[in-house]
Amino acid sequence: MIQPPEIFKLLNREVIGQDAALREMAVAIYKHLISHRTGNVLLIGNSGTGKTTIMRSVERFFAEEKELARFSTIIRINANLVADLATKGAQSNVVMERLARQATTVLGNNATKENVIDYTAHGIVCVDEVDKIRAEVGGEPSIKGIIAQDSLLTLMENENVHVKITYIENGSWQEGVVPINTAHVLFIAGGAFEELYGQVLDRVTEHGGMSSLMKLVPKADGTLERRVVFKLGDHLRHEDLFRYGMTPQFIARFASIIMLGDLSPRDLVSIFCDIPHAIWPTAQEYFAGLGINLQITEGAKMLLADKASENNRLGARALTEVFGRMIKQYEYNPLDNPHLVDNGSEKVLTITEELVKEAFK
């Protein structure tokens, strides 16, 4: 059986700056593979820190590891959908039926009744934006949130759920309703919990103010600057989650509460340049289509990363805003630009540190 360190390596190919979180995720997946009766996983992190990327990496891991096909049935569902269905009484079945449909798809011509049940019972459900199903909002109970948490809680309590499945029998497709136990279904939930950040920050600074959080922080170029550093994971308590609006019973079903760290400027440089579909190579493709070789200096990369890291609540998404603010002035008509250099063999536009500073004046 594949071990946690190897799982970590495979998950880590596209996730930047979240090694600690991925190690915990690797252990959770390993326990899932050996049917160890463990809890589920809750990912908490600012927008853009990698929650959805981690879920996609889990999907890719199982898609590539063919010998783990029994565990390869994975769906992603938005918690808001669960909340919308909460008043209709079918939300539990909807989640499991989606999982069963995916199992049938994964199995293809091998979708016997027994296989569909087995693949569904060992599947993974990824729940996005779980922070949106709060049981209390603005001091008032949220009926949808309460019912949505309860419905997911039912699935996470090793219940027998009656699920409609599609399968092959005697050479033809059949439909039927079967009981499926959820004891070995792994739930991975993720959310930004944005108000939680401010809520815990207020609690931590209530007496000492912000001065206790001032630290010297390395910039992308290795120099240091003094900045307020507040890592939610260093201060979070279960009571904070209850106060936020997550019920104690719901939180108790998560054995691992994984805090995603804020991305460093160096992490942001890697995300900007190195991951698949990164911002920088995508921009280069656009300008190449206009006959321009788009280049960037190391100093400009570092400055862009530093600018993005100033808004750590947006994580990697801050890069899009920062780079967009700088590059948009060149995208409309770059051939009529004083910074464009025609060296005879090609036209080159180089983004320098000075051009970045000019964009942020």
pLDDT (mean) for 244-259 = 92
8 pLDDT higher than 90 = yes
Residue 91 has pLDDT above 80, yes or no: no
Residues in a beta bridge with 175:
166
Residue ranges matching CATH 3.40.50.300 in the chain: 4-259
Confidence bin at 177 (pLDDT 50/70/90): very high
For 42, other C-beta atoms within 10 Å of its C-beta total: 25
CATH code for the structural domain at 265-359: 1.10.8.60
Mean pLDDT score of the chain, rounded to an integer?
Answer: 88
Which of 130-134, 141-145, 205-209 has the least mean pLDDT?
205-209
CA-to-CA dists, residue 59 to 25, 55, 66, 68, angstroms = 13, 6, 12, 12
What stretch(es) of the chain map to CATH 1.10.8.60? Answer: 265-359
At 207, the pLDDT band (50, 70, 90 cuts) reads confident
Helices and strands, number each (H, E), in the chain: 16, 14
Report the distance separating Cα 80 and Cα 359, nearest Å. Answer: 38
4-259: CATH topology is Rossmann fold (3.40.50)
